[in-house]
């Protein structure tokens, strides 16, 4: 099968590319190569004859039309994905996560693509003090990032309803593993700990996230693509709920760094307190996460320990400039 994977040079997208190639499929990777897109993330498959790359924007109708030609399935992971950045520049998020998603779906419909998978996030449901969100719960996003992802979901569901286009949505939980851009909690804290730099914990550090390993998330997306029903949403959660401070302490233990590095900083504005997903639906279809959280975290720390060549240029370049500009007060 020929599959178009967008955002394939990103963290989760590159893992979905690997899953597809391992299963013998032909992959077209469409990626704009934003600050978060890194060709090194797919270096291991780049020479495979089944792999090809298009450098372009999903929100560009011409690129979208060109990219879907002859494709059976589209898996859309291209997105602006970082909450903190969305607080500074929401319109960039709307452009890719809403306009880009709708543009790509319409191009896929025109080209007769059999199935479109929209990769979304648990953040569209908003914060939940107790219990876990089901796919039928209303969405109540609270950051510009999650609102733009919710906009993408609504476009997808509306186009399915209106035109009968076969669309499946996945909503994944906080993902960790190798190749994650070091602005997100886990890779930022691991790389800072390895360098003896402060770990900036927002607020009281008691915010809760449900963590899933990137391989489990990628396989969940693939499973929903293969076995999901058109027009349906599937939660993909790891079932590992931890307060941020607990994750921080585990990272310090795995890296051997000192607790003194923990630094409490001003809270993120509008910070969601807790995310939790009910994954009964996808589990009922035969998917289950396999990676034990502590094993996954330990192997992730090892990857960053060994791959300074991957993250040092990032942290000394664009990332450092952006943080200096936007976090001067923190
Ligand atoms: P990422 O930021 O690591 O990668 C995003 C990729 O998309 C990059 O390669 C970037 O160059 C590309 N891209 C951005 N804008 C584009 C555009 N307009 N056209 C083409 N390519 C573009 O993101 P990620 O963490 O791998 O997340 C992938 C998807 O999974 C996103 O849709 C995100 O919302 C969703 N998600 C992420 C998490 C998480 O914890 N990281 C959890 C749940 C869902
Ligand atoms: P993040 O990795 O940005 O993912 P998201 O906001 O999409 O859940 O953040 C995960 C949690 O960690 C979130 O509660 C914010 C918190 N956090 C910090 O405490 N310090 C940091 O430097 C970062 C990046 C995040």
Identify whether 76 is part of a domain: yes
Identify whether 329 is part of a domain: no
223 and 309, same domain (yes or no): no
168 and 204, same domain (yes or no): no
90 and 12, same domain (yes or no): yes
Distance 175 CA to ligand 2 centre (A): 11
Nearest ligand to residue 54 Cα? 1
Distance CA 210, CA 126 (A): 13
10 and 139, same domain (yes or no): yes
| CA dihedral sign, ordered 147, 144, 130, 190 | positive
48 and 117, same domain (yes or no): yes
* From 51, 125, 145, 319, the catalytic residue: 145
**Rg of the chain's alpha carbons, rounded to an integer?**
19
Domain of residue 131, CATH code: 3.40.50.720
Ligand 2 within 6 A of CB of 207: yes
Percent of the chain whose predicted confidence (pLDDT) is above 90: 95
> What does the pLDDT look like over 62-105, one tens digit per residue?
999 999 999 999 999 999 999 999 999 999 999 999 999 999 99
260 and 183, same domain (yes or no): yes
182 and 261, same domain (yes or no): yes
> What does the pLDDT look like over 2-42, one tens digit per residue?
999 999 999 999 999 999 999 999 999 999 999 999 999 99
- Residue ending a domain, choose from 220, 236, 252: 236
Identify whether 200 is part of a domain: yes
Domain residues for the domain of 196 are 178-209+240-273+291-317
Chain centroid offset of residue 265 CA: 25
Domain of residue 259, CATH code: 3.90.25.10
CA-nearest of 116, 93, 107 to 5 is 116
What pLDDT, on the 0 to 100 scale, is given for residue 326? 72
> What does the pLDDT look like over 43-65, one tens digit per residue?
999 999 999 999 999 999 999 99
Identify whether 324 is part of a domain: no
Lowest mean per-residue pLDDT among 106-115, 217-226, 314-323? 314-323
**DSSP code at position 114:** S
Tell which atom from ligand 2 comes closest to the C-alpha of 143. 6
What average pLDDT does range 249-274 have in this prediction?
98
Task: Spell out the SS3 assignment of 154-167.
Answer: HHHHHHHHHHCCCE
- Number of domains making up the chain: 2
Identify whether 281 is part of a domain: no
Please tell me the pTM assigned to this model: 0.98
Helical H runs in the chain? 11-22, 61-67, 83-88, 90-93, 101-110, 144-163, 185-194, 214-227, 244-255, 280-283, 293-306, 308-316, 318-326
81 and 188, same domain (yes or no): no
Q: Which protein residue has the closest C-alpha to ligand 2 atom 4?
A: 184
Distance CA 68, CA 61 (A): 11
| CA dihedral sign, ordered 129, 130, 133, 138 | negative
| CA dihedral sign, ordered 39, 42, 47, 52 | negative
What pLDDT, on the 0 to 100 scale, is given for residue 325? 72
165 and 228, same domain (yes or no): yes
76 and 122, same domain (yes or no): yes
Identify whether 130 is part of a domain: yes
Ligand 2 within 6 A of CB of 200: yes
Lowest mean per-residue pLDDT among 171-180, 203-212, 230-239, 318-327? 318-327
Classified as helix, coil or strand, 6 is strand
Identify whether 280 is part of a domain: no
185 and 112, same domain (yes or no): no
157 and 225, same domain (yes or no): yes
Ligand 1 within 6 A of CB of 146: no
Active site residue 123: yes
**The pLDDT of residue 236 is above 60:** yes
Lowest mean per-residue pLDDT among 55-64, 130-139, 173-182, 316-325? 316-325
**The pLDDT of residue 202 is above 90:** yes
Ligand 2 within 6 A of CB of 199: no
249 neighbors 259 (Cβ within 8 angstroms): yes
Instruction: Tell me the CA distances in angstroms from 318 to 281, 313, 315, one per residue in order.
Output: 40, 9, 7
**The pLDDT of residue 329 is above 50:** no
Identify whether 151 is part of a domain: yes
């Amino acid at each position: 099968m020929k599959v178009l994977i967008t955002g394939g040079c990103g963290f989760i997208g590159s893992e979905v590319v690997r899953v597809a190639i391992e299963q013998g499929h032909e992959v077209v990777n469409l990626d704009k190569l934003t600050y978060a897109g890194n060709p090194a993330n797919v270096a291991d498959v780049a020479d495979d004859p089944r792999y090809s790359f298009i450098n372009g924007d999903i929100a560009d109708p011409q690129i979208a039309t060109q990219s879907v030609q002859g494709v059976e399935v589209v898996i859309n992971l291209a997105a602006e994905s970082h909450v903190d950045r969305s607080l500074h520049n929401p319109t960039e998020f709307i452009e890719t996560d809403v306009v880009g998603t709708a543009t790509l779906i319409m191009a896929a419909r025109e080209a007769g693509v059999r199935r479109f998978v929209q990769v979304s996030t648990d953040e569209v449901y908003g914060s939940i003090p107790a219990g876990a969100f089901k796919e039928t719960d209303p969405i109540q996003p609270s950051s510009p990032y999650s609102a733009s992802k919710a906009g993408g979901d609504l476009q997808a569901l509306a186009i399915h309803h209106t035109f009968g286009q076969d669309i499946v949505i996945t909503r994944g939980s906080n993902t960790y593993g190798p190749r994650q851009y070091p602005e997100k909690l886990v890779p930022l804290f691991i790389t800072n700990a390895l360098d003896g730099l402060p770990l900036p914990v927002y607020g009281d550090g008691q915010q809760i996230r449900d963590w899933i390993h990137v391989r489990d998330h990628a396989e969940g997306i693939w499973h929903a693509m293969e076995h999901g029903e058109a027009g349906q949403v599937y939660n993909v959660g790891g079932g590992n709920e931890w307060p941020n401070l607990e994750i921080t302490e585990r990272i310090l233990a795995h890296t051997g760094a000192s607790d003194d590095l923990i630094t409490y900083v001003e809270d993120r504005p509008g910070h969601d307190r807790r995310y939790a997903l009910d994954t009964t639906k996808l589990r009922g279809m035969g998917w289950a996460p396999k990676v034990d959280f502590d094993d996954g975290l330990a192997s992730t720390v090892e990857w960053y320990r060994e791959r300074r060549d991957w993250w040092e240029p990032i942290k000394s370049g664009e990332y450092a400039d952006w943080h200096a500009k936007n976090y001067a007060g923190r």
